[in-house]
């Protein structure tokens, strides 16, 4: 063993192996000994709200106003809407998916890597929730779809097609809305965020309150979206799941392209083939 190692110590890859080993050890030691994450549960609500307010004043107030009352520009445009009464669910959705804070004023806030960690989101949510009553962050029982029955999924699909496909597309891959806005793809979105989006209606999206879609129906919709994500592509390549436009593109490029090439090949070969003389 030792002999084996010593003979290979000058192998060109030996340096990399040692480096890798050192990195793994250092990382392992760090994760074993790093200080535990601050425990949120010990803090009182008032404390969370106060900390949330501090975070808010730094990251959000420039658009939403110092007291979350919203800012109207001189031209009457809405720089940032009032946040009083939007509830913790709205904050959790917007900040956890990285939509807020926005990188710049735009027609729509795109999803992006999140700026605040979970604890900070909880503080912000607590602060906003303290300003006025609004939907709270849902408990897992509302969006946990791991045990959804086939029937629930089929019903959810029915609700999905009635309420969601008009903007998000039949496969949930998203679609365009007027003036450069869009309904984003639903693939890879956390169930809790889908639930919160239905509950709070972020950006262009309408609110699907519990009177319109009961929590059970919402869970069915989420379950259906999740099956769409995992579903086998029965027909082969899905070509973007954008309907006949993608199909036409492939028919014209791949199909007609291949057949025209075949026609050229057939016409240039056979009895009449004239090989170019060198």
Partner 1 sequence: MSSSPAARSKAGAASRSTAGVVTWLDERLGIGALTKKQLRKVFPDHWSFMLGEIALWSFVILLLTGTFLSFWFKPSMAEVEYMGSYANLRGLHMSEAYASTLDLSFDVRGGLLMRQMHHWSANLFLASMTIHMLRVFFTGAFRKPRELNWMIGLALLMLGIIEGFAGYSLPDDLLSGTGLRIAQGLMLSIPVVGSYISFFVFGGEFPGDDFIPRLYTVHVLLVPGILLALITAHMLLLVYHKHTQFPGPGRTNNNVVGFPLMPVYMAKAGGFFFIVFGVTALMGGLLQINPIWMYGPYNPAEVTAGSQPDWYMGWLEGGLRIMPNWETNLWGYTLSWNVLIPGVLLLGVLFALLAFYPFIERWITGDDREHHLLERPRNAPTRTAFGVAGMTAYALLWIAGGNDILAYEFGLSLNAITYVMRVAIFVVPVLAFIITRRWCLSLQRHDREVVLHGYETGVIVRSPDGSYAEIHRPINPVRAYELTMHEQHTPVELPAAHDANGVPAPAQGKERLRSRLSHFWYADDVSKPTKEELEAAAHHATNGSHALEDGHGPASGNGAHLGIETSGIVGGQDFGLEQKPKAP
Question: By the criterion CB under 8 A, which residues form the site for partner 1?
Answer: 150-151, 153-154, 157-158, 161-162, 165-171, 174-180, 182-183, 224, 227-228, 231, 233-239, 241-248, 250-252, 254-256, 258-260, 262-264, 266-268, 270-272
Q: Residue 116: name the closest of 200, 39, 54, 162 by CA.
A: 54
Task: CB nearer to partner 1: give 23 or 212.
Answer: 212
Task: CB nearer to partner 1: give 43 or 242.
Answer: 242
Q: How far is the CB of 95 from partner 1 (least distance, A)?
A: 23
Contacts of 246 (CB under 8 A, 6+ apart): 239, 240
Beta bridge partner(s), residue 176: 182
CB of 213 within 8 A of CB of 195? no
Q: How far is the CB of 8 from partner 1 (least distance, A)?
A: 46
Task: CB nearer to partner 1: give 22 or 262.
Answer: 262
CB of 229 within 8 A of CB of 187? yes
Q: How far is the CB of 241 from partner 1 (least distance, A)?
A: 7
Task: CB nearer to partner 1: give 63 or 177.
Answer: 177
Longest dimension (CA), the chain: 91
Provide the token pair at 240: 């973007």
Contacts of 173 (CB under 8 A, 6+ apart): 185, 186, 187, 240, 241, 242
- Residues 167 and 241: their CA atoms lie apart, in Å, by 14
Task: CB nearer to partner 1: give 141 or 179.
Answer: 179
Q: How far is the CB of 147 from partner 1 (least distance, A)?
A: 15
Q: Residue 187: name the closest of 238, 114, 117 by CA.
A: 238
Q: How far is the CB of 224 from partner 1 (least distance, A)?
A: 7
Task: CB nearer to partner 1: give 112 or 161.
Answer: 161
Q: Residue 85: name the closest of 61, 68, 71 by CA.
A: 68
DSSP string, 147-196: T--HHHHHHHHHHHHHHTHHHH-TTS--EE-GGG-EEPP-TT--HHHHHH
Provide the token pair at 39: 């425990």
Task: CB nearer to partner 1: give 5 or 266.
Answer: 266
Q: How far is the CB of 63 from partner 1 (least distance, A)?
A: 22
């Amino acid at each position: 063993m030792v002999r084996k190692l010593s003979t290979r110590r000058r192998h060109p890859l030996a340096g990399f192996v040692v480096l890798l080993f050192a990195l793994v050890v250092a990382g392992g030691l760090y994760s074993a000994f790093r200080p535990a994450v601050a425990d949120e549960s010990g803090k009182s609500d008032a404390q969370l709200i106060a900390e949330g307010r501090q975070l808010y004043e730094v990251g959000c107030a420039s658009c939403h106003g110092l007291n979350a009352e919203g800012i109207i520009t001189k031209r009457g445009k809405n720089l940032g809407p009032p946040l009083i009464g939007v509830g913790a669910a709205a904050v959790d959705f917007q900040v956890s998916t990285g939509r807020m804070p926005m990188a710049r004023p735009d027609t729509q806030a795109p999803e992006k890597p999140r700026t605040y960690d979970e604890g900070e989101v909880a503080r912000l949510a607590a602060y906003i929730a303290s300003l006025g009553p609004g939907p709270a962050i849902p408990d897992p029982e509302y969006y946990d779809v791991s045990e959804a029955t086939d029937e629930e999924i089929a019903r959810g699909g029915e609700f999905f097609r009635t309420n969601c496909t008009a903007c998000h597309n039949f496969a949930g891959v998203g679609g365009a809305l007027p003036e450069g806005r869009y309904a984003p793809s639903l693939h890879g979105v956390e169930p809790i965020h889908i639930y919160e989006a239905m509950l709070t209606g972020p950006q262009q999206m309408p609110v699907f309150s519990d009177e319109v879609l009961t929590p059970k129906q919402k869970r069915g919709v989420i379950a259906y979206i999740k099956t769409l994500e995992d579903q086998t592509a029965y027909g082969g390549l899905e070509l973007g799941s954008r309907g006949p436009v993608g199909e036409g593109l492939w028919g014209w490029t791949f199909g007609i392209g291949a057949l025209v090439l075949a026609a050229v090949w057939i016409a240039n070969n056979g009895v009449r083939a004239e090989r170019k003389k060198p």
